[in-house]
């Protein structure tokens, strides 16, 4: 056999062996799902910084998440170096609406490994007790200010849901189930917020109506549920019901949801258990009385009349919701019409500030735990949300990036290349929930770490104590505006009550003392 033939067969054998290795390895879903070809993706990612002048988009141009943002999440999830060198490549002076965090001249110290008070988990509980104001039987203080947002099994694959659930258990935070019900993949140790949408999956009669008996039966089988969230709308498709294309509906999903296999699963646009704000509060109190759990709502923000009605009806204290999750119009992992994603509902900052001020006007804002959602999984975005008045932040797409999402934007096609937003068996097989759960937890812990570091740089112990006075917005004409003026906040709006501020400061101090003793 001549030398060229030997080289050819040697090369062919090498390619075959590499393909076998790619399929058998569990670390990278892309390599399992696309053997050989997947290596080109990592090669281009590796040499991208050196070739940036030849690539069409810069580090900050891609949407929904830029290259810099994705790189930070990937590095954080792998516990790699997530620092950036050679200064910022943002044009601070000429970028409109550029956020500046105003650090204190005398910041608080952030303990480092080996120092007294250092906490490797960067624990940071909610400043308020969920269900505390209304004295729910199962009220509790959420252990983490960062939690995973509602993404249903069906929209996501089973291994992806499992990876997030196990990651939440490791990081000590909550996972919202999404409106698709509680699946076996939600039962891997992580605690849950059960989201009840207009389809009432998991608590519905055969005709789609809400069922008390099935609600109680599901809760009896799932003691890890810590709160109930009534979904009114979401950022991906506000004003429309949830959509699960029939291509993604498996027999298991159909059984969990109680739906047919041969057609798209489209939830109604509105609830049948209630028809107005008054009925919503009756329904929330009914759920709380039945279960003892804290009960809240999730909504994108459109017209303001609902929020005035809600605040007015809660004013006398006889009825109320325990938490409000505000989803921004820029958020949403789900499939939906382009025009709904682009133009229906307010973006998070505008929508949340509007709701916060309305509830403050009626004097009920301190009674409610506020949760922000909608592209808030980066430190500066999350801190902005806390300054506006969030007590917790839910993250969705960023948590998917942490378990391997590459922003292919194929979520609605059932062809997600990383096995996350698909039910295709071959693609799903590449996602190892054991490995990815650790990455999800690493990312959540790192985000808490960065938030605590930013808070301390501002001179306060906890992100909930960061106020609108700590932030400023630059315009593109060398001017700036305070957040207080831009959003019209009165003094004290957006901050927890004095009692809750004192409580969270005591908790943080006690945690540091415990860590010091352990050290």
| Residue range 405-463, pLDDT digits in tens | 988 888 888 889 999 999 999 999 999 999 999 999 999 999 999 999 999 999 999 99
Specify the range with the lowest mean pLDDT, choosing from 26-30, 59-63, 86-90, 139-143: 59-63
Highest mean pLDDT among 289-293, 332-336, 403-407: 289-293
419-423, Cβ contacts within 8 angstroms, sequence gap of 24 or more? 419/29, 419/33, 419/157, 419/159, 419/160, 420/29, 420/156, 420/157, 420/160, 421/155, 421/156, 421/157, 421/160, 421/333, 422/157, 422/248, 423/154, 423/157, 423/247, 423/248, 423/249, 423/250, 423/253
pLDDT over 90 for what percent of the chain? 62
Q: Say what the pLDDT of residue 517 is.
A: 45
Q: Is the pLDDT reported for residue 171 higher than 60?
A: yes
3-24 and 38-47 helices cross at what angle (nearest 10)?
Answer: 90
Confidence of residue 251 (pLDDT cuts 50, 70, 90): confident
- 241 in Cβ contact with 271 (< 8 Å): no
Number of neighbouring beta carbons within 10 Å of residue 416: 29
Confidence of residue 236 (pLDDT cuts 50, 70, 90): low
Q: Is the pLDDT reported for residue 226 higher than 70?
A: yes
- 134 in Cβ contact with 322 (< 8 Å): yes
Q: How many helices (H) and strands (E) does the chain have?
A: 17, 13
Distance CA 413, CA 457 (A): 44
Among 264, 260, 179, 192, smallest CA distance to 222 is for 192
Q: What is the pLDDT of residues 33-44, one digit of tens each?
A: 888 887 777 676
Q: Say what the pLDDT of residue 55 is.
A: 55
Q: What is the mean pLDDT of residues 331-358?
A: 84
Q: What residues does 327 pair with on adjacent strands?
A: 300, 373
pLDDT over 70 for what percent of the chain? 92
- 194 in Cβ contact with 182 (< 8 Å): yes
- 296 in Cβ contact with 322 (< 8 Å): yes
Q: Say what the pLDDT of residue 217 is.
A: 95
Q: Is the pLDDT reported for residue 268 higher than 90?
A: no
Q: What is the pLDDT of residues 466-517, one digit of tens each?
A: 999 999 999 888 889 999 999 999 998 999 999 999 999 988 887 765 444 4
Specify the range with the lowest mean pLDDT, choosing from 10-14, 145-149, 480-484: 10-14
- 280 in Cβ contact with 274 (< 8 Å): yes
Q: Phi, psi at residue 462, to the nearest 5°?
A: -145, 145
Number of neighbouring beta carbons within 10 Å of residue 221: 11
Q: Say what the pLDDT of residue 380 is.
A: 97
Cis, bond preceding 64 (omega within 30 deg of 0): yes
Higher-pLDDT residue of 293 and 112 is 293
Q: Say what the pLDDT of residue 178 is.
A: 92
Q: Say what the pLDDT of residue 198 is.
A: 92
pLDDT averaged over every residue in the chain: 89
212-221 and 277-291 helices cross at what angle (nearest 10)?
Answer: 40
Distance CA 182, CA 193 (A): 10
Distance CA 52, CA 348 (A): 32
Q: Say what the pLDDT of residue 404 is.
A: 93
Specify the range with the lowest mean pLDDT, choosing from 28-32, 160-164, 242-246: 242-246
Q: What is the mean pLDDT of residues 144-151?
A: 96
Q: What is the mean pLDDT of residues 288-304?
A: 96
Confidence of residue 325 (pLDDT cuts 50, 70, 90): very high
DSSP state of 198: T
Q: Which CATH superfamily is domain 146-511 in?
A: Aldolase class I (3.20.20.70)
Q: Is the pLDDT reported for residue 277 higher than 90?
A: yes
Q: Is the pLDDT reported for residue 292 higher than 80?
A: yes
Q: Is the pLDDT reported for residue 239 higher than 70?
A: no
What is the helix (H) or strand (E) element at residue 186, kind and residue range? none
User: What is the domain partition of the chain in residue ranges?
Assistant: 1-56, 146-511
Alpha-carbon Rg for the chain in angstroms: 24
Q: What is the mean pLDDT of residues 139-144?
A: 97
Among 376, 337, 403, smallest CA distance to 157 is for 403
Q: Say what the pLDDT of residue 38 is.
A: 79
Q: What is the pLDDT of residues 68-107, one digit of tens each?
A: 999 999 999 999 999 988 888 888 887 889 999 999 999 9
Report how far apart, in Å, the C-alpha atoms of 511 and of each of 22, 109, 252, 430, 506 are.
45, 15, 43, 40, 9
Q: Say what the pLDDT of residue 211 is.
A: 95
Q: Say what the pLDDT of residue 263 is.
A: 81
């Amino acid at each position: 056999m001549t030398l060229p033939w030997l080289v050819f067969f040697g090369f062919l054998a090498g390619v075959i062996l590499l393909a076998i290795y790619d399929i058998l390895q569990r670390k990278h879903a892309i390599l399992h799902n696309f053997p050989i070809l997947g290596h080109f993706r990592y090669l281009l990612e590796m040499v991208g910084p050196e070739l940036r002048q030849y690539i069409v988009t810069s580090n900050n141009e891609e949407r929904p998440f830029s290259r810099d943002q994705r790189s930070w999440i990937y590095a954080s999830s792998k516990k790699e170096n997530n620092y950036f060198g050679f200064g910022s490549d943002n044009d601070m002076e000429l970028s409109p609406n550029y956020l500046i965090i105003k650090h204190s001249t005398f910041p608080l110290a952030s303990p480092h490994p080996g120092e007294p008070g250092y906490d490797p988990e960067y624990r940071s509980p909610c400043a308020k007790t969920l269900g505390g104001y209304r004295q729910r039987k199962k009220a509790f203080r959420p252990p983490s200010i960062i939690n995973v947002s509602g993404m249903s099994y069906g929209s996501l694959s089973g291994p992806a849901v499992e990876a997030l659930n196990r990651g939440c258990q490791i990081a000590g935070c909550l996972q919202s189930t999404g409106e698709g019900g509680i699946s076996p993949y939600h039962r891997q140790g992580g605690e849950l917020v059960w989201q009840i949408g207009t389809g009432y999956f998991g608590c519905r009669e055969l005709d789609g109506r809400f069922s008390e008996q099935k609600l109680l039966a599901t809760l009896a089988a799932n003691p890890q549920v810590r709160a109930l969230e009534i979904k009114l709308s979401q950022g991906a498709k506000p004003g429309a019901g949830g959509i699960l294309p029939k291509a993604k509906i498996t027999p298991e999903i159909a059984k969990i949801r109680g739906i047919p296999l041969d057609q798209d699963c489209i939830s109604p646009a509105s609830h049948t258990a209630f028809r107005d704000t008054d009925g919503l509060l009756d329904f929330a109190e009914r759920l709380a009385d039945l279960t003892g759990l804290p009960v809240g709502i999730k909504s994108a923000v459109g017209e303001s009349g609902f929020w005035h009605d809600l605040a007015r009806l809660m004013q006398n204290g006889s009825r109320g919701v325990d938490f409000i999750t505000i989803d921004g119009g820029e958020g949403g992992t789900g499939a939906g019409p382009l025009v709904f994603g682009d133009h229906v509902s307010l973006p998070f900052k505008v929508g949340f500030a509007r709701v916060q001020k309305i509830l403050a006007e009626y004097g009920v804002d301190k009674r409610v735990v506020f949760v922000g959602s909608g592209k808030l999984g980066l430190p500066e975005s999350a801190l902005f949300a806390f300054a506006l008045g969030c007590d917790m932040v839910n993250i969705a797409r960023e948590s998917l990036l942490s378990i391997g999402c590459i922003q292919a934007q194929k979520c609605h096609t059932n062809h997600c290349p990383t096995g996350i937003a698909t039910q295709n068996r071959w693609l799903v097989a590449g996602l190892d929930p054991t490995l990815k759960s650790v990455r999800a937890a690493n990312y959540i812990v790192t985000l808490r770490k960065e938030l605590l570091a930013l808070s301390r740089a501002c001179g306060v112990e906890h992100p909930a104590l960061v106020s609108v006075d700590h932030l400023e917005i630059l315009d593109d004409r060398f001017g700036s505006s305070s957040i207080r003026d831009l959003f019209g906040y009165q003094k004290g709006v957006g901050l927890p009550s004095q009692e809750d501020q004192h409580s969270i400061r005591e908790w943080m101090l006690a945690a540091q003392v415990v860590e010091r003793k352990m050290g």
